[in-house]
Amino acid sequence: MEIGIWGDSITYGECDSEGLGWVGRFRNSFSLEEYVGVYNRGICGDTTKDLLKRFSTEAESIKPNKIVFAIGINDSKYPMEQTSNNVPLHEFKENMRSLIEQAKAYTKDIYIVGATKVDDAFALQSGTCFVNKDIQLYNDCLKELSSRLNFIDVFDVLDPVTDLHDGLHPNAGGYQKLFIEIAPKIK
């Protein structure tokens, strides 16, 4: 069994003091007797535009039986001193549709992991321009696109005050919570 997981820095496991993120914890949850290749294709800062450029080549190299997309929060981000999202919602929706269609060439077993909340106070203070009301719109779009797929909603899983390392990325406890929510649904 080969499982490919594509996404951004939260998929990658950025800021996890244990160095695993939720994907590493998922990989470690399989016993030694069962062979399951879990490929973490999370890249910090990636948007759906970036993922479209690399998905087919990476998927072809592993030919996954299951595909997981965990991306969207960077699409919702406002670039510094801008008034529109990094990737407008309509373009995000088209990008996700294209990714889903490309994924269907490998498997019908496709999962979409929703976006997580940020600490709004941190976002305003640091100028990172991640806003929960916009993240929720992108999350709702993912949910809508997943009507015939497997959607894993994690928007309310993390406490923005106690589970985030830097106001955006989960800490070790936050990644553990994501693992507990996501892993059983993919397995």
pLDDT digits (tens, 9 = 90+) for 15-67: 999 999 999 999 999 987 888 999 999 999 999 999 999 999 999 999 999 99
pLDDT under 70: residue ranges of the chain: 122-128
Print the domain residue range for 97: 2-186
- Residues belonging to the chain: 187
Number of domains, the chain: 1
Q: What does each C-alpha distance from 55 to 102, 121, 131 come to in angstroms?
A: 8, 34, 27
Cβ–Cβ under 8 Å, residues 6 and 69: yes
- pLDDT at residue 78, rounded to an integer: 84
CATH of the domain at 52: 3.40.50.1110
- pLDDT at residue 32, rounded to an integer: 76
